[in-house]
Amino acid sequence: MSFDYSHLPREYPRQFLPTNIDLTDLSRLKELFQNLQNRTIHSASDLEKWLKDESELASALAEEQSIRYARMTCQTDDPAREKDYLLFIENVEPAAKIATSTMYSTGRERTTSHSSEKKM
């Protein structure tokens, strides 16, 4: 059970993520992280776009976790809300942390090797 907050006003409309994305779909999340991980950055504008998209994904995940937590704590006698929150915490959050770590370490390796090539 997910709260449909797609109709709420947003100061920053989504550019990278689909409006009605299911953030518990681990295969879809993997695709999004791989999209970010595999991008080549050749300019400052490429880097700015990457940072905006990465921030949007991280913000959407944090928002989903917060909404699930608030729903669970507002109605503690509803086992479905607890289940939804635990699903996110036990499955989505660990997968996102691993994907984020991999994405950043791969990016550092590419940046380091690219910097080394320029110095030679």
Provide the residue ranges of all domains of the chain, joining segments of one domain with +.
Answer: 43-109
Distance CA 72, CA 78 (A): 7
Mean pLDDT of the chain: 87
| pLDDT band at 12; cut points 50, 70, 90 | confident
Separation of CA 48 from chain center? 17
Residue with the bigger pLDDT between 107 and 55: it is 55
Is residue 98's pLDDT more than 90?
yes
Which range, of 40-49, 69-78, 111-120, averages the lowest pLDDT? 111-120
Over residues 11-20, the mean pLDDT reads 87
Distance CA 33, CA 58 (A): 10
Q: Which two tokens stand for residue 6?
A: 């797609």
Residue with the bigger pLDDT between 117 and 43: it is 43
Task: Report whether 57 contacts 17 (CB < 8 A).
Answer: yes
| pLDDT band at 7; cut points 50, 70, 90 | confident
Distance CA 41, CA 97 (A): 22
Is residue 22's pLDDT more than 50?
yes
